[in-house]
Amino acid sequence: MRISELSRASGVPTATIKYYLREGLLHSGELTSATQAQYDDGHVARLRLIRALIGPARLSITTAKSVLAAIDAPEGPVLERLGRASMAVSGGEAEAEPAAARELVDQLGWQVEPGSPALVDLEAALTAIDEAQLLLITGGVRRYAELVQRLTVAEMGTVPTETPEAAVRQAVLGTILIEPLLIALRRLALQDAAIRRFGKQHS
Amino acid sequence: MRISELSRASGVPTATIKYYLREGLLHSGELTSATQAQYDDGHVARLRLIRALIGPARLSITTAKSVLAAIDAPEGPVLERLGRASMAVSGGEAEAEPAAARELVDQLGWQVEPGSPALVDLEAALTAIDEAQLLLITGGVRRYAELVQRLTVAEMGTVPTETPEAAVRQAVLGTILIEPLLIALRRLALQDAAIRRFGKQHS
Q: Is residue A48 part of a domain?
A: yes
Q: Is residue B21 helix, strand or coil?
A: helix
Answer whether residue A183 is part of any domain: yes
- Give me the pLDDT at residue A94, please: 64
Same-domain check for residues A50 and A76: no
Considering the domain boundaries, does residue A25 fall inside one? Answer: yes
Residue B11 reports pLDDT greater than 80: yes
What range does the domain containing B172 cover?
55-198
Percent of chain B with pLDDT over 90: 43
* Tens digit of each residue's pLDDT (9 = 90 or more) over A85-140: 777 777 666 666 789 999 999 999 999 988 888 999 999 899 888 877 889 999 99
B111 → chain A, closest CA residue: A192
A93 and A45 housed in the same domain = no
pLDDT of residue B176 exceeding 60, the answer is yes
Judging contacts by C-beta atoms under 8 Å, the chain A residues touching residue B129 are: 52, 177-178, 181
> In this predicted structure, which of A21-30, A93-102, A193-202, B160-169 has the lowest mean pLDDT?
A193-202
**Per-residue pLDDT tens for B66-86?**
888 877 776 677 777 777 777
**Position B202 pLDDT exceeds 60:** no
- A47 with A84, same domain? no
Instruction: Give the DSSP H or E segment for A31.
Output: strand A30-31
Nearest to A110 among B112, B134, B188 (CB): B188
The DSSP bridge partners found for residue A38 are A30
Is residue B149 situated within a structural domain? yes
Rounded to an integer, what distance in angstroms lies between the CA atom of residue B51 and that of residue B25?
11
| Residue of B45, B36, B56, B58 whose CA lies nearest to B12 | B45
Q: Is A70 buried (19+), middle (13-18) or exposed (0-12) by CB count in 10 A?
A: buried
In this prediction, residues B52-66 reach a mean pLDDT of: 77
Query: Looking at this protein, which amino acid is placed at residue A164?
Result: P
A34 and A129 in a single domain? The answer is no
Interatomic CA distance for residues A8 and A198, integer angstroms: 48
Same domain, A92 and A154: yes
pLDDT value at position A203?
40
Structure ipTM over 0.85, yes or no: no
Cα distances from A56 to residues A1, A174, B127, B175, B179, in angstroms, run: 28, 13, 9, 19, 16
Q: Measured between CA atoms, how close is A156 to chain B, in angstroms?
A: 6
Average pLDDT score, chain B: 85
Q: Does residue A39 sit in the same domain as residue A76?
A: no
B136, B143, B147, B191, best to mutate vs chain A, most A CBs in 10 Å: B191
pLDDT confidence of residue A2 = 94
Residue A144 falls inside a structural domain:
yes
Taking an 8 Å cut-off on Cβ atoms, the answer to whether B118 and A187 are in contact is yes
Contacts of A25 (CB under 8 A, 6+ apart): A46, A50, A61, A64, A65, A68
Lowest mean pLDDT among A79-88, B20-29, B98-107: A79-88
Per-residue pLDDT at A110: 96
Are A46 and A71 in the same domain? no
User: In terms of domains, do A94 and A194 share one?
Assistant: yes
Query: How many whole angstroms separate alpha carbon A27 and alpha carbon A73?
Result: 14
3-state secondary structure of B30: strand
B57 pLDDT above the threshold of 80? no
Q: What is the pLDDT of residue A173?
A: 84
**pLDDT tier for residue A198 given thresholds of 50, 70 and 90:** confident
| CA dist., res. A133 & res. A72, Å (int) | 44
Same-domain pairing of A81 and A131: yes
For an interface test with A, which of B102, B181, B195, B201 has the most A Cβ atoms less than 10 Å from its Cβ?
B181
Confirm whether A60 is domain-assigned: no
* CA atoms lying within 13 Å on the CB side of residue A181: 26
Cα–Cα distance, A196 to A88 (Å, whole number) = 41
Are the beta carbons of B145 and B108 closer than 8 angstroms?
A: yes
- Report the number of distinct structural domains present in chain A: 2
**Distance separating alpha carbons of residues A103 and B154, to the nearest angstrom:** 25
Q: Among partner residues B126, B145, B194, which is closest to A171 by beta-carbon distance?
A: B194
A191 and A116 fall within a common domain = yes
Q: A124 and A151, same structural domain?
A: yes
Query: What is the DSSP pairing of strand B37-38 with strand A30-31?
Result: unpaired
Is A149 domain-assigned?
yes
Q: What is the pLDDT of residue B91?
A: 67
Residue B34 lies in a domain: no
Segment B133-152 mean pLDDT: 93
User: Residue B156 is nearest to which of A86, A145, A193, comparing CB atoms?
Assistant: A193
A172 and A88 within one domain: yes
CATH number at residue A40: 1.10.1660.10
Segment B158-185 shows an average pLDDT of 86
* Residue B29 confidence (pLDDT) above 90: yes
- Look at B111 and A195 and tell me if their CB atoms are within 8 Å: yes
